[in-house]
Every structure is written in structure tokens, then in C-alpha cells.
Structure 1
Amino acid sequence: MHDLNCDFESVTPEIWVANEEGWREKLLTLPNWYQIPLINCNASHNLSDSKLVRFRGMIQDMHNPEFYFEQFEVYNTVTKEIKSKTGKYRDTANVTENEKINYTENFKGAQRQTMVVVSMPGLSDWAQNVEEKQNILKHLEQQPNSSKRLQSCTKLKRSYDEAEDDTNAMEVGETEPSKEMKTSETVNHTSSVLSREHLLNFPLPDMPSKSCIVKLYEENNNIKLNTMIEVIGFLSVDPALSGEFQTEKNPLEPELETDAETITHNPPPSLVPRIHAVHVKILEHCNPLVKDSVDKSAVLNEAGTARDHLMKALTELLLGDQLAAEYLICHLIANVYLRQDTMTLGQFCLNISNLPTEKYPNYAKQLYDIIKQFVTKSYYLPLTIENMNTLALLPKKDYECNRLTSGILQLSNHTHLVLDETKMEQGTLDATGVGNITALGNMIQNQRVEYDFKYYKMDFDSDIPVLILSEGKSLLPSDYHLPLKPEDSSLEIFDAIVEAATYYLKEEIMNIIRVYLTSLKLVKYTMNEDLQFVEDDFIEMRSTSDSQNSVTADDLHRLLVLARLVSLSRGQNTLNKECWDITKSMESQRLQRLKNRRSAVL
């Protein structure tokens, strides 16, 4: 019986193409994929060209389809033998010395989709550490890598027109690749203008990340911008793929792409490796502690324990405010569960105001530093005047380089965005700043992010939980606004509370909370047909309301969204009378705080 892991270590594109169905079946029945190197954790320079690898990330951009030679003939000038070869899953021709490629007959052209995938923006340190422990392959670091990429090659990425116009077969010489590059290709100095940051194009520029160019051979309508995927495919890292070594241009031919576009679309493989996909899996989440097949009943049964741990920690960090802790837990497990026309159901933007910034100026950041240890992906954005006036929040099409320049709001689903409004000082927002504030407001209200294509704008759906931390009511819209009500005793010892929370939250407890927060987003919640108690309460609320405190359908919707999260957080996948009563009590207390706050201001 074959060792499947060993098979996957030695498989080549040619062997795979010879029996694609068989290899795909083997791959899908593999007990785990950990022995297939994950290049998020294993450096690509320790891997040989055409090695089967994995990459996990978010689709950041999609380029135009690329034409390649799926089938072509080579002629051996010594043996006079003619062979048929494939260019599938390769960027360069797998030819030997004394072989010529015949570009004029018996070749078959095809196209493949090309997209840029970046490692998950905002992935927490703890998640990266767990992923590395699961996937790092120590034996790869011991292997020499000096000669793995240096092999004679001919690029296979050619247009049909080029192939038809080229009446002479291209010879693959015996010279070393470095010498061949110097004679047949010229180094383009545009690359000196394009920085490493430009080529990598990460959504969150101040967070470390990796990038890959993934080439797809099969259509999949579910693969869209910002989708989280895990791709398995053949690695392509030949240095000749870099746009710096582009073929010298004929001044008489029309220029189809600029130098900047060539360099941008063909960055050095040492910086951005290529992967020729044989399988793409769409991910619902990227928490390395949660398996693909989540046991929903076990999640609900264990929810109580996890919630108790989280409630205890958050109540302390929120200065003894249990109501704020309840709302924050609901926020952390919320997600968009349905879209109907222009309406988005399930979003839960929470604004916690009345933060004690006079005594603790960095309270918001300290709170975020604990929250980011619970969630899988997050990003902290201080809403300073300078940040709003200078940062690029919205993705924008760069037509000179023919690519989508990423922005901070280009995030994958369930990335927790924490906006610190306590850092906003006096100043003037310029046009960029006003645009950024508007973009944040639109995303919060509609869970859509507007992409700027210069000649037109397009909205893309998002599912980004937003937590706004402020002194007074935020200038941004929110679904639930809750003024913090700190206990005096907690205010005096906040630094000690943070230290105690760090001590209490051992790795074992943290992992229970981390699994809890991710898993509850995946549990299916259903509404019972018998919700007479909801109907009765709503009728009563309407009848007892007055003109100043009217109860509307929006209020009922807000209650039902909150009730869903109150139920799930307690391990219930449907609404019962007990959770409904808890929800009503929470909203009543929250609205009373807002009323008292307004009275105090008046």
C-alpha cells in the first residue's frame, strides 16, 4: 500500500496531469493536509520548484485570464525524437538540453484565471502561533536551497498571436540561466521605482503578511474578491518569472502594457511565489483551533462554560459593568446571516461610550489588547485627524499598473474592526478625511464597502463587526449605543485588573473562549413558529408607549437580533421565553442609561 504523504511529496505536474481524477480523489481522502507544506509557515525558498504546497489567505485581486500552452511538441536534435508535453501547472517549459519547442503546429492553447491571494489580514498572533505549530516542517529548513530554482527554462506564458507569429521554434541553449537572462532579456529599471510595499499591496500595511499569485484551471463561481480560501497546488519560483527580466520590446510594435504593469503583475517569485492550483477550498473561518466539521451540538453544550469565563473577564475589564459585558459578548459572536435586497440582517455595530479617558488615556487600546487575544482576526484603528486625512480606507483601481490597490477596509469576513474615537483631537478633516468617515459610516450601516474604479464605483458585500470606543456618543452610526457605567472601586485599580485578567486567562481558558467565539458564528439558529410571547410583548410595548418614546418595527427587529445572540451565547439555537426576557431586560437597562445620559446633558 502506498504512503499517500510520500506520494504527494514526490508528485510532479506531469504525473498529476496523467491521472488528475485519481490524484484529486487521493487528495480529498487524505486524513490531514499538514504534511503538504503550508507556505504561510514554511519559507518558499526552502522548497523546490514544482513542489506541491498549500497557502491559506484572502483573495485580494483578480487579474485578466492568462493564455498558456496546455499541449505542445518538442523535438530532440540529438535523438530526432518528437515528444508531446504539457504546460499545465507550470510557468516554464520542462524541456531538456538539445530540445526545441515547436510553436507552429500540434499545440493546444488554453487559459487560466490569475488572482492575488494575501495571508489573512489582521490574523492574531495567537492564531499564527497555533498555525505554525500545526504546520511547520522542520526538515525543510535543513535542506540546501542554492540550486533548487536554477534550471534552464522557457516561459510558457504567451498569447495566441505571439505563438502564431513565431515561425521559428525557440531553442533552449546550454548556457546557465543567469547568462541567458543577460543576453536575451533586459533588466527593467522601472522596478527601482516600485517599492516592496507596492508589489505586496497588503490591506493592512503595518501588519506582517505574505502574498501569492494563484493560477486557477477550473471555473468556480463562488470564488470572489475577499473570499477566504485554502489552495493546494504546484509551486513556481523560477527567478526568470520576475518582470525585471522582461523580453526587450520592439519599438515598432504597439505597447500592450506599461513597464509598471509588467513589474507589478510579475513580481520576483522570491517575494511573491506562484501556485498552480489543483484544488481550492473555500473557508468559513480561519481559526486553527476549530476543525472544518464543527460538532454543533457539542458547541452548544459547552457554550455555558466558555461564556462564564468570558463574562468574568470582560466584566472586570469593563470596570464591573455586567451589562456592557453582555453586549460585548453579543457583538463578538454576531455575523450577517441574511441579505435581502438592500437590507442586511445580523450586523451588530456596538458603540461603548463614557470611557474613563481622563484617568486612563489608553483605556481603549488596553481593552483592545485583551479582545484581540480572543478573536481570530482584528484591527485597531485610532480615529485621529491625521489618520482620517492620510490613510487609504477604500480599495482603488490603479489603471497604470492595472491592479486593485488595497485599502484598510478590504478585509475578509469576521475581521473585528475596533475604532478608537477617544484619540480624535481638534482639527479639520480634509476631503480625504470626510470621505473616510463617510466610508466607515456606509460600511457600518449597510455592511458594504465601496470600491473606487475611477470611472465608476462598485459596492462589495462585507461582514466586518465594528466596535466603536468613545467618550461621548460616536459621530459614526451604530446599531447599539451603550454608555459605560464603571464601578468606583474598579476605576481605582484598573491596572491591577488588567494584570489579574492576564493571569486568569491561561492558554487553556483562552482556547475555550476562542473556539466558542468562532463556533457560534457557524451554528444554525432557527425561529420557532410558536412565538406568541414575542407578539404579546410587542403589542403591550406599543400600547404603553407615548409620542416621545414610540415603539416601532425597527425596535422589534433590534430586539430579535439581540435575542438571537443572547440565545446563542447561552447555548440555545432557538428563542425561548427565558432568553427573550433577558433580552428585554438588557434593552430596557440600555435605553434607561441613554435616557439618564440625555437628562444629565440637558
Structure 2
Amino acid sequence: MPCVADWLNCPLSIVQDIFAQNNSDPEWEKKVTEYFREKLKENNATNWVPSLNDVPLHYLKPSSLVKFRCMIQDMFDPEFYMNIYETIDTHTKSHVMHFGKYRDIAECGPHQEIDLNPSHVVTAERQTFYCVPVPGESAWVKEAYSSMSQARVCPSTSYTPSRQKRSYEEDEDMELHPSKQREQHLGSIADIHGSGEPKRLETEASATHQMINCSPPLDLNFPLPGEKGPACLVKMYGNWDNFKVNDVLEVCGILSVDPVLNILNNEDRENSSSPVESMDCMDTVEEQRVHSPPASLVPRIHVILAQKLQHINPLLPACLNEEESKSFVSSFMSELSPVRAELLGFLTHAFLGDSLAAEYLILHLISTVYARRDVLPLGKFTINLSGCPRNSAFTEHLYRIIQQLVPASYRLQMTIENMNCLQLKPHKDYTANRLVSGVLQLASNTSLVIDETLLEQGQLDTRGVHNVSALGHLITWQKVDYDFSYHQMEFPCNINVLITSEGRSLLPSDCQVHLQPQLIPPNMEEHMNSLLTAVLPSILNKFRIYLSLLRLLDYSISDEVTKAVEDDFVEMRKNDPESISADDLHRTLLIARFLSLSAGQTTLSRERWLRAKQLETLRKARLQQQKSVNGNEL
């Protein structure tokens, strides 16, 4: 029976054994998947698999088993490859069957040739996803996943790619100085040509070509500025229709970083001197760079197992439907009340003593789009926190606290310059045949904090107007329009938007809460830092579990409570027909929903409905008070 080192370090040898035993059986591919699925179930074996999120590429052995937690940024066209093929020994004329699945390159031994007779080749189709690390993933999430890993890795000595043991940061230097990258690629070509490597043939039926030249730096197409980590070409062999752009998934598969693929493409390009030969490749140079980037910068993963993630919180079980997970959930729910009380106190301090704002922030952080009725997204709860000090560090420090609580977040500084310069909406680049990312290409349940306190007087240009419009569209409909030049395509999303502003925001919101600080610390930074320092890591982890778990709970309203709410609303309209509208009913029901969930209750009670009405009364009274003080609406 293969040992751990075999299926982790040499998974292709396992595949080869299964293929050899079942080459006449078309079910051999399912047996491969089942073998690795069973292996990964044993004794938390997934923690033994190195992750590209944690481990630099040069520490990973080529063709070993790896995993990657990522978001699908783009989907390329399907490609054909040789699934099963034969080689012929040029001396003995003997035939040997091979599999091409999970490989970029089909290898032949010495004195062997691939039999290209169509009757001896079985082609198949695979789908390539361009995947990036989850945008805005919090540092505590990365650290927690990394600490759980039991993978044993060391710098690879059996493989010397063009990276020369570079880190991700050094990779970025290479991107900025492509001449360095070119020198390393040229060096690796010389090494491989002089090493007597066996002949190899690309398994893809339509080969793409990569030119070695001083072209512009490779753009890894991360949605958010300043992001680091690897991008990967993830090759799926089945069920790819279950995935879509912006899905977050964890893939487990075979790492391919073979530089020979690039070398073959380069040689093909150099040898294609005649116009007829060059017509074989219709791809533009830009498309070749995007779809066949250097494996040292964008490795390939040939997927054996893929799982769409419900969440990316490492403190929660990956799937809450399993029996083991249910015991975890019930255990945590039993201590929910003190956790909520501590979180409310923690956020009250963050809001400088304003407990009402803290209460609403908890409801905001557990909100999620749970359904769509026609075009209306149900469950979105965008808050406009007005009354924030202008041009102060308050919003920045508040965002730092939110970062410590949620798995993924981003702070968008809403300045005139940013609105006029940033690319918020993704758009299609037809020359390179790829989707160019934008800031609003975010994973589900990402917290987006829009800082409007930095907005000064100025002129928005055309892009600025479109960007502000895109933010409004996102908030109202939970959709982002991707620009495909000839048309706009709506992509539904589920992003928690918090707007901080001095007065009422320019952007729409579901609920405006005016901040009323009870204390003004002499040093805001010291106050916020001391708040984070004072909370115990174990308590902070409970806050993180609390906010992620409650988003995933089911919720319902009984017929009896529904009737009581309707009667109550009719009575409210009678008493105050001027100020009570259908929007008020919808918002109060939403607040009651999140209040119930925040207390661990999955159905609405009379008590929670009354508490929701009370919160809304306090919030509106505060807004009315501020309006009368300032003489205008906030």
C-alpha cells in the first residue's frame, strides 16, 4: 500500500498504478478521484497537503500534491488534451499506453515516439480557471490556516525553475524588471537543452505560444491594489459547470511548474517563420502572455478534488452540515449570549461609547443576501454611519477593528482622485481575451468600508461618475455591471457595505445611524490600539466565530407572528401615517431578523420584534435631533 509520501510527493505514480490496473476500464478516472478523496479523509490528512497560500512556490516539489484557497477571477476557453495515448519504441516497435490527464507535458522515454494516429489517441476536454487569492483576506485568516498546516516542505533541490528560490516579494521585483526574468528563462533553457532530458510533447491539442522578449511586466490581475500571493491556472477535469466567476473554492491537485512548456512554445514560435505556419496560431501576443504565463509566476494546478467554500473562516468547520460540525455549532450556541454581550461592549468602546451604533454594526456584520425576489436582494443591510469626524483617523482605526473581526474586507477611500482613477468595475480585454479585474470584483460576504470622510470638493470626470454610479448600483441591487464593451453584464454579489461620512452619504443606504460619541479620547490611535490589545485572543476568536456562524443560520417567521406583525404595522400606520411607510416595515423586519439571529434564535419572537421597533425609534429620534440642531437633513 502506498505510504503518505507517495500520494503527497508522487501523486502521478499513484495515478499511473490505477491507470495500469484499469486501462481497459473507463472508470479509472473515478477511481483516482475516490482514492485521493478517501486519503484526505484520514486523520485530518488535508493539513498534510502544502498550500500555495502559505508556502512559497520554490519550497514545493513539482508534480506533488498541493492545495489552494482562491477565488475564480476569470474563466478561459476550454482546451483539448490527450487523455490516453500510445508511445512506440523506435527500436522494438512495442506500444505502451499512457495517460495525459493531470499533465501539461506528455513525456516519452529515450527511443520513444508518440503515436499520433487518431485511432490510438483519446482526447478529452478540460476547463481552465484563472484563480487569485481571496481579495482582502484578513491577516488573521492567513495566519490561522498557516498554523493549522502540518505540511513538511523545504527548498526544492530536484527542480531549479526560473524562480531561483525567489519569494513572492522578489517575484514582484521580477515583474517590475522583466529583463531579469528574461535572463533567468534563458539560463534555464540552456540547462535543460544540455541535460539530456527525454523528449516531451505538449498534451494540449491547440498549443499556445509564449515569446521570450522584453515585454511589459506580467499583470497578475488581482482585484485589489497591493495584494500579494500566487495566481494560478487551475485546470478542472469535470463538474466545472458547478463553478462560476467570483466563487471561492479550495482545490487540491497536482502542481505543474514545468518550464519545458514555455520552452516548447518559444521554439515553436521561433521556428514558425513562414506565413502559413504562423497562421496555425491565431492568438495574439497579449493573449499568449495571459493564457500561457511563465509557470514560475503563475503555476498550474491539475485539480483532483475541488470544493466550493461556504466561508473562509478557519475557526469554523468547512461544512456545517456534517455531524461533527453540528456538535461544534450546538456547543458554541450554548454560550452565545455572553459572547454577544462582550462583542457589544467591545464595539461600544470602538464607537467611543455609542452603544446604539455598536448594536447596529453587529446587525450589519451578520447580514447577508439570503434570497432574491425578482430583482430585489433580500437580506442586504448597508449602513451609513454619519457623524464621523472629518479627515480624522477614526474611520481608519474603525476599519482596523473590523479587519480583526471579519475574514475578508477592504477600505475604499472615496476621494476625488480615487473615483477618477480607480477601475472599480471589471472589464473585458478582447485583445488579451481576459477579464481585467476591478476593485468591486470581490468574494461573497466581503466587508467593504467606504470612507466618505475624505471627500473634498472637486470635479468628477466620466470615469468618476461611472464609479460612483457603480457603488450606488452595488448597494441598491447587490450587483456589479461588468463592462464587455458592447454590452454590460450584471454579476450578482453579496457584499456588506458600510459607509462612513460626516453628514448624510452621497450614496444610498438601507439605514443611517448618526454617531454620538460619549467620549473623545485625546489620542485616537492609542485608544483604538489599547482596545485591541486589551481583548484576549480567545475572546477575539469567539467574536470571529460568532459573526461568521450567524450568517449561515436558517431563519423563519411563523404564521402567528406574521399576523401579529401585520396587525402591529397597521396600528403604527394609523397612529403616524405620515412617517411610517412600507420601507419602514421592510427595514424593521430585517432588523428583527438579525436581532433574532444575533441572539441565536432562528425564528422571530414578539420580544425581538418589539426590540427592533425600539432600536428604530431611538435611531430615528437621534436623526431628528441632529436635523433640528443643524437645520437640515443629515
Q: TM-score, normalised by structure 1?
A: 0.90
Q: Measure the CA separation in 2 of the matches of 1:21 and 1:36.
A: 21
Q: Give SS of 1:289's match.
A: coil
Partner residue of 2:77?
64
SS of the equivalent of 1:347 reads: coil
Q: Which of the numbers 302, 305, 310 marks the counterpart of 1:284?
A: 310
Q: CA deviation at 1:264?
A: 1.2
Match 1:438 to one of 463, 469, 475 = 469
What CA deviation, in whole Å up to 9, does each residue of 1:274-301 have, x standing for no partner?
0111111110101111112433433432
Q: Distance in 1 between matches of 2:448 and 2:267?
A: 41
Q: Which residue of 2 aligns with 1:521?
A: 551
Alignment of 1:291-302 (within 5 A): 291-294=317-320, 295=326, 296-302=329-335
Match of 1:51 in 2: 64
1:8 deviates by 4.0
Confirm or deny: 8 A CA contact 2:62 2:256 kept in the other structure.
yes
**Secondary structure of 2:529's partner?**
helix
In structure 2, the residue corresponding to 1:499 is in which secondary structure? Answer: helix
Counterpart of 1:355, as a letter, is: C
1:340 aligns with 2:353: no
The more displaced of 27-36 and 397-406 is 27-36
Q: Which residue of 2 aligns with 1:176?
A: none
Judged with a 3 Å threshold, the aligned counterparts in structure 2 of structure 1 residues 303 and 27 are, in CA distance, closer, same or farther, namely farther
Q: Which amino acid aligns with 2:139?
A: D
CA offset digits 1:310-343 (Å, max 9, x no partner) = 1111101101111000000001111000012211
Aligned counterparts of 2:508 and 2:126: Cα–Cα separation in 1: 43
CA contact (8 A) 1:188 1:259 kept: no
Quick one: which amino acid aligns to residue 621 of structure 2?
Answer: Q
Contact 2:50 2:66 in 1 (8 A): yes
Q: Any conservation in 1 of the 2:379–2:590 contact (CA below 8 Å)?
A: yes
1:195 aligns with 2:217: yes
Name the residue aligned to 2:284: 258
Distance 1:246 1:114 in 2: 24
Separation (CA, whole Å) in 1 of partners of 2:4 and 2:560 = 52
Please list, as runs of the form range in 1=range in 2, the aligned pairs for 1:46-195 lying within 5 A after superposition: 46-105=59-118, 106-135=120-149, 137=151, 139-141=152-154, 143-147=156-160, 151-152=197-198, 154-159=200-205, 187-189=211-213, 192-195=214-217
The residue that corresponds to 1:238 in the other structure is: 258
Displacement of 1:157: 4.0
Alignment of 1:16-55 (within 5 A): 17=19, 18=22, 19-29=28-38, 30-31=41-42, 32=44, 33-55=46-68
Counterpart CA distance in 1 for 2:423 and 2:525 is 34
- Which residue matches 1:367? 398
For residue 387 of structure 1, the aligned residue among 387, 399, 418 is 418
Distance, in Å, in 2 between the alignment partners of 1:128 and 1:153 is 41
2:362 is aligned, of 329, 333, 336, to 329
CA shift in 2, pair 1:298/1:5, >3 Å: farther
Counterpart in the other structure of 1:464: 495
For residue 140 of structure 1, give the secondary structure of its aligned residue in structure 2. coil
Which residue number in structure 2 is paired with residue 270 of structure 1? Answer: 296
Residues 433-468 of structure 1: per-residue CA shift (max 9 Å, x gap): 000000000000000011001111100010000010
- What are the superposed Cα offsets for residues 112-166 of structure 1, whole Å, 9 maximum, x if unpaired? 11111111110001111111111263x3115524458965453424437x9xxxx
Change (3 A) 1:92 1:530: same
Counterpart for residue 355 of structure 1: 388
Aligned position for 1:167: none
Q: Sort the Cα spacing of 1:238 and 1:567 in 2 relative to 1 into closer, same or farther, 3 A.
A: same
Q: 2:255 corresponds to which letter in structure 1?
A: L
Q: Deviations over 1:339-380 (max 9, x none)?
A: 12211100011110101237xx11100111111011100001
Q: How far did 1:493 drift? A: 6.2
- Measure the CA separation in 1 of the matches of 2:428 and 2:266: 25
CA distance in 2, matches of 1:158, 1:467: 47
Q: Which residue number corresponds to residue 317 of structure 1?
A: 350
Q: Map Cα deviations across residues 210-247 of structure 1 (whole Å, 9 max, x no partner).
A: 21101111134320000011111111110123387262
- Tell whether the 8 Å contact from 1:239 to 1:269 is kept in structure 2 after alignment: yes
Aligned to 1:170: none
Q: In the alignment, is the contact (CA less than 8 A) between 2:393 and 2:525 conserved in 1?
A: no
Match of 1:180 in 2: none
> Residues 186 and 245 of structure 1 are in contact (CA less than 8 Å); yes or no, is this contact kept in structure 2?
yes
Structure 1 residue 581 corresponds to structure 2 residue 610: yes
* In structure 2, C-alpha distance between the alignment counterparts of 1:242 and 1:283, rounded to whole Å: 33
Please identify, of 14-23 and 448-457, the stretch whose mean Cα deviation from structure 2 is larger.
14-23
- Equivalent residues of 2:390, 2:454 under 8 A apart: no
* Pairwise CA distance, 1:495: 4.4
> For structure 1, which runs of at least 5 residues remain unmatched after alignment?
163-184
1:188-222 residue CA offsets vs partner (Å, 9 max, x unmatched): 32xx33313x1x11001212232110111113432
Tell me if structure 1 keeps the 8 A contact 2:389–2:453.
no
TM superposition shift of 1:496: 4.6
Superimposed CA distance per residue, residues 246-290 of structure 1 (whole angstroms, 9 cap, x where no aligned partner): 622342243511111111111111111101111111101011111
Taking only the aligned residue pairs, the percentage that are identical comes to 39
Larger mean CA deviation between 303-312 and 327-336 belongs to: 303-312
Aligned positions of 1:395-406 closer than 5 A: 395-406=426-437
User: How far did residue 24 of structure 1 move?
Assistant: 2.7
Distance in structure 2 (CA, Å) of the matches to 1:158 and 1:426: 55
Per the alignment, do residues 503 and 339 of structure 1 end up closer, same or farther by CA in structure 2, a change over 3 Å counting?
same
CA contact (8 A) 1:63 1:403 kept: yes
Which piece of structure 1 moves more, 570-579 or 491-500?
491-500
Contact 1:299 1:520 in 2 (8 A): no
TM-score by length of 2: 0.86
Q: Tell me if structure 1 keeps the 8 A contact 2:479–2:491.
A: yes
Q: 1:5 to 1:342 in 2, by over 3 A?
A: farther
Q: How many residue pairs end up in the alignment? A: 570
Q: 1:508 aligns with which of 521, 524, 538?
A: 538
